[in-house]
Amino acid sequence: MRIGHISDLHILAIDRIRPWEYLNKRMVGGLNLLLNRSKAHSTSVVERALEALDSLNVDHIVISGDLTNLALDSEFAAAAEIIRSIESAFSRVSVVPGNHDYYTPGAASSGRFERHFKEYLKSDLPEYQLERGYPFCHLREDVAIIGLNSGIATPWLFATGRVDDDELEQAARMLDDERLKSRFKIVVVHHPLMADEHHRFNFNRRMINAESVLTTLRQKNVDLILHGHNHYLSVLQVPKLGEAGTTFVCEAGSTSVEGGGPKMAGKFNIYTIDDSQLVEIETHLFESHASGFRPFRSEVFRRHIEEERG
């Protein structure tokens, strides 16, 4: 099975915003858009990424949050329209919110993200799902994809996240379910659970309970954790705590970034899973609007014994 991973799309749609909607944290975010972000992120780059993923025959697409900039209804509608363009999107896409999708208390409490993406939150194991829609589980071939929500409304100049304790408890119970026992287990959450070479855990951007979440997922033998938030490519490995093996913790970067060279330009990952093992991670990089995305790097983690003998 081939799973595409895109993240941090930051779709911008502010043409119909009412002036009083800026009388909150959006004032800072709007200034950031004027100075920086609106020039860095491009909806057309997202569309090129989806075209490339289609041509590369991925079976499923995971989106690890921050679909919007300011959590406006207009941005959610634009993002939902783009995601619906994916063939058989309702059965082939798993998506979780990020901090930008819960940008204000009103956006968080109203369930704006969940309203626009409710079809993607339908769970194959609904008995573990809390009222808000998390954790959800999508069972696809020999893979289980579990979605967690780390989005919370935060004060100005903060972009922290947290997975609620009751949600984490339900996820732990779900991961113990016999129906997941022989499957390759993927957890999707927006905020990173580990520091990488590019980012330490900055106080105002961290996952508040990252250590607890990561420990639980390692104890439950999760194979692959996919996140966003940092906008950098990252592939980390830590030992599982419940059995022998490795938990991979991966970020593709921000898919929608138009420039910035190989370090910052838009990226997506493809994870190849065979016989309940992670075989390869391919990273594709946005080069230009004319040429779209190109292969950037590939890591092969494990080959089957039969292939090695052949």
For domain 2-309, say whether CATH 3.60.21.10 is its number.
yes
Phi, psi for 31 (deg, rounded to 5): -65, -40
Domain boundaries, given as residue ranges, for the chain: 2-309
The mean pLDDT value of the chain amounts to 91
Mean pLDDT, range 111-126, rounded to an integer: 98
Structure confidence at residue 201 (pLDDT): 67
Structure confidence at residue 202 (pLDDT): 82
CA distance to 6, 97, 239, 260, 278, per residue, from 48 (Å): 12, 22, 36, 17, 26
Residue 264 has pLDDT above 60, yes or no: yes
Structure confidence at residue 13 (pLDDT): 79
Number of H helices, E strands in the chain: 11, 12
User: What is the per-residue pLDDT across 61-80, written as a single tens digit (0 to 9) for each?
Assistant: 999 999 999 999 999 999 99
User: Structure tokens of 306?
Assistant: 């039969």
Rounded Cα distance, 283 and 84, in Å: 23
User: What is the per-residue pLDDT across 199-244, written as a single tens digit (0 to 9) for each?
Assistant: 666 889 999 999 999 999 999 999 999 999 999 999 999 999 999 9
Mean pLDDT, range 137-159, rounded to an integer: 95
User: What is the per-residue pLDDT across 91-107, written as a single tens digit (0 to 9) for each?
Assistant: 999 999 999 999 999 99
Rounded Cα distance, 4 and 188, in Å: 12
Transcribe 19-38 into DSSP letters. GGGGSSTHHHHHHHIIIIIH
Rounded Cα distance, 221 and 246, in Å: 8
Q: What is the pTM of this model?
A: 0.92
3-class SS at 114?
helix
Residue 30 has pLDDT above 60, yes or no: no
User: Structure tokens of 217?
Assistant: 């997922």
Residue 251 has pLDDT above 70, yes or no: yes
Structure confidence at residue 307 (pLDDT): 47
